[in-house]
């Protein structure tokens, strides 16, 4: 690591205890982050209010367009082919029905070059999953090499996974170091850190993992790979948004948020936008700071656009599956 890259030794005293006293939870090989305890009942009640917000008819189309511009249109299947990726990229650039382009396409690293060529000149970003996605179960040197390779293939955003087993074993310092080293390997590329919240077991753990990732240099924190159930939930996302808010108040650095997996319909997407605005403020209502990892959502947004225009629903068969 370079001298400028963050390390545990330079951050532990600052981030573990706001009062400057020694951290209280020693563990093997390092010290555990001290994150606030989460009131799960309070989170559920707050999220229920976000879901109940109504959107005026004249504002709905603007919200739909905004949600479309925030999508990372995604294909992460073992059966992905260059043709499938090119088709998805065409849809990403021009979804149809007068909708704006999405923010990015998200693919495996071996498809990054195909995606980069397909979106060239469009302004769309190419995100590549890395670090032995979705399990993260390989050595750090291999994960670093995969990250560098993905960038050399054309990715300008990297979606990495943390080592959940090590996190659950209490090795917070190891998670900090792996995120910091992957961030350094990214160079100018943006780093989204996937926590795989469905495996973290508690909202307290989600909050702690969020803080570690941000302190280690994450540009975005992301809920999930989409390969584990549950994936994105509003409760988990709200906890992560609160962590981002508190981190910004402490450091002045804006970190982005990406819920991924399970956001399939327009109503849910708009509820997420309401939650972002009311928790973080309008500055985060931008593809620069909020993304939705999705594949099916784009078609539902398109159906809603056509419905707003024609007052009649169309079949999903009118829109491409990819």
Provide the annotated active-site residues: 159, 222, 258
Query: The tokens of 186 are what?
Result: 């990214």
For residue 317, the 8-state DSSP code is G
- Please give, one letter per residue, the 3-state secondary structure of 15-55: HHCCCCCCCCCEECCEECCCCCCCCHHHHHHHHHHHHHCCC
For residues 272 and 63, give the distance between their C-alpha atoms in angstroms, rounded to a whole number.
Answer: 11
Cβ distance 184 to 5 under 8 Å? yes
β-pairing verdict for 220-222 and 256-258? parallel
Sheet holding 71-74, edge to edge: 256-258, 220-222, 190-194, 157-161, 125-129, 104-108, 71-74, 292-294
Q: Which residue has the tokens 């972002």?
A: 276
In order, the DSSP letters of 245-281 are HHHHHHH----EEE-BSS--SHHHHHHHHHHHHHHH-
């Amino acid at each position: 690591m370079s001298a400028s890259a963050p390390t545990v030794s330079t951050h532990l005293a600052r981030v573990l205890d706001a009062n400057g006293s020694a951290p209280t939870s020693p563990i093997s090989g390092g010290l555990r982050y001290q994150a606030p305890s989460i009131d799960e009942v309070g989170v559920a009640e707050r999220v229920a209010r976000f879901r109940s917000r109504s959107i005026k008819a004249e504002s709905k189309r603007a919200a739909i367009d905004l949600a479309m511009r925030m999508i990372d249109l995604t294909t992460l299947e073992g059966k992905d082919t260059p043709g499938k990726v090119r088709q998805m990229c065409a849809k990403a650039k021009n979804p149809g029905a007068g909708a704006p382009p999405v923010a990015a396409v998200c693919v495996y690293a071996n498809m990054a070059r195909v995606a980069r060529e397909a979106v060239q000149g469009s302004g769309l970003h190419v995100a590549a999953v890395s670090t032995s996605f979705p399990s993260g179960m390989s050595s750090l040197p291999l994960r670093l090499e995969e990250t560098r390779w993905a960038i050399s293939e054309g990715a300008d955003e990297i979606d990495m996974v943390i080592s959940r087993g090590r996190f659950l074993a209490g090795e917070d310092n190891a998670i900090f170091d792996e995120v910091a080293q992957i961030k350094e390997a990214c160079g100018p590329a943006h780093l989204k850190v996937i926590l795989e919240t469905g495996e973290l077991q508690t909202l307290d753990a989600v909050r702690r993992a969020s803080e570690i990732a941000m302190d280690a240099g994450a540009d975005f924190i992301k809920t999930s790979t989409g390969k584990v159930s549950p994936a994105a939930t509003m409760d988990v996302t709200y906890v992560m948004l609160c962590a981002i808010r508190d981190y910004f108040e402490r450091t002045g650095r804006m970190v982005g948020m990406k819920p991924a997996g399970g956001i399939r319909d327009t109503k849910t997407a708009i509820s997420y936008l309401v939650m972002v605005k009311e928790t973080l403020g309008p500055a985060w209502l931008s593809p620069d700071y909020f993304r939705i990892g999705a594949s099916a959502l784009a078609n539902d947004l398109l159906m809603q656009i056509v419905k707003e225009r024609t007052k009649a629903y169309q079949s999903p068969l009118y829109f491409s599956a990819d």
